[in-house]
Amino acid sequence: GSRIGILGDGQLGRMLGCSAAMLGFDVVVMGPNEDSPAGRIAAHNICAEYTDKDALAELSVRCDVITLEFENVPVPAVQMLTDMDAKVHPGKKSLEVCQDRHLEKQFSQGCGVETARYWLIDSADTLNAALDELDGRGILKTRRDGYDGHGQVRLSTGDDAGAAYEKIGEAPAILETMIPFAGEMSVVLARSTTGEIVAFDPAENHHKNGILHRSIVPARFPADVQRRAVEAASRLIEALGHIGVLAVEFFVLEDGGLLLNEMAPRVHNSGHWTPEACLTGQFEQHIRAIAGWPLGPVTRLMDVEMTNLLGDDIDGHFGLRGPGAMTTLYGKRDARPGRKMGHVVKRLNP
């Protein structure tokens, strides 16, 4: 086919759309925002809620294959598309698992990939009971809809459970133990329609205020730790039957042990260095996978550091264009504080 549909209209859709265009596809974007980063570069933009049946019908007739750039696309929307005989990659299972932190951790453990210990929370009382086992310390996260640290509260001894539960909107949640990690690492990998799996080199990730700040590649963890992370991520992508790019975030423990933090069934911020540094970048890889093409080679040509530009950071982005620095901007109109506006990939080796 030659027409690709993207559910979601943010920067990931924009970069996916650019890569799709480079491979000769026409791009149709469907998302709720008018004048969006992805909508503005698409050949056709359908501005509608994800569950709008008429809009989904239009998307399905306009496209040969449909994908997503946003993991919280409602599962019923994907069901409606498949009922209309549309081809959607990745499928329902990837979304169902990755949308819910409880299901995600259960699934991971079922694949032999450990996670932080956690408790299911549905009231201030269940939160209090769980906190009793943790000396009052832990991290409370909504089961669904969290991103960039939203929907999370860190609790220390003596903090009020009722207030914390209220702060996350009294939604179904989990309480996780605080992991004293040595570092964080992610594996971005792809699986094709024929079941071929190819992983980019793992990235070492540094967060600020719960938001990814910087990714460094190669990651400064032992080769054996990185190999185990790629193996774990490969088991997960296979078990999901996932088609397309998947990102798997890990905590790396002092002893080299790995815990799954979370997965994203899509291209990922910690893979934003790949287009500049690898023979095939994550956006092209995702398009190749969902289009039924063979995956591209991910050979890495340089050592890199990717830094996010948040809010006002873009005002000085030309200043970051030192030797070997490559800037991408997302075309967002409004530079609200903490909003992801662009990123810079800097070559580290000469």
Name the residue number minimizing CB distance to ligand ATP: 179
Which among Mg ion, ligand ATP, none contacts residue 22 (Cβ within 5 to 8 A by kind)?
Answer: none
Binding piece for Mg ion, criterion CB under 5 A, among 45-53, 97-105, 231-239, 242-250: 242-250
The DSSP bridge partners found for residue 174 are 120, 141
The Cβ-side half-sphere exposure at 164, using a 13 Å CA radius, reads 29
Whether the Cβ atoms of residue 131 and residue 161 lie closer than 8 Å to each other: yes
Is 206 among the annotated ligand-binding positions?
A: no
Return d(Cα 273, Cα 15) in angstroms, integer.
12
Helices (H), the chain: 11-22, 53-62, 75-83, 92-98, 101-110, 124-132, 161-167, 223-240, 274-277, 282-290
Is 151 among the annotated ligand-binding positions?
A: yes
Q: 100-139: which residues touch ligand ATP (CB under 6 A)?
A: 116, 139
Residue 33 DSSP one-character state:
-
Return d(Cα 117, Cα 186) in angstroms, integer.
20
Q: 201-220: which residues touch ligand ATP (CB under 6 A)?
A: 207, 210
Q: Using alpha carbons only, how large is the chain's radius of gyration in Å? A: 20
Which among Mg ion, ligand ATP, none contacts residue 236 (Cβ within 5 to 8 A by kind)?
Answer: none
Q: 243-272: which residues touch ligand ATP (CB under 6 A)?
A: 249, 261-262
Q: Minimal distance in Å, beta carbon 166 to ligand ATP?
A: 19
Which among Mg ion, ligand ATP, none contacts residue 114 (Cβ within 5 to 8 A by kind)?
Answer: none
Count the site residues for ligand ATP by CB under 6 A. Answer: 17
List the binding residues for ATP: 101, 141, 146-152, 176-179, 184, 207, 261-262
Binding residues for ligand ATP (CB under 6 A): 116, 139, 141, 146-150, 176, 178-179, 184, 207, 210, 249, 261-262
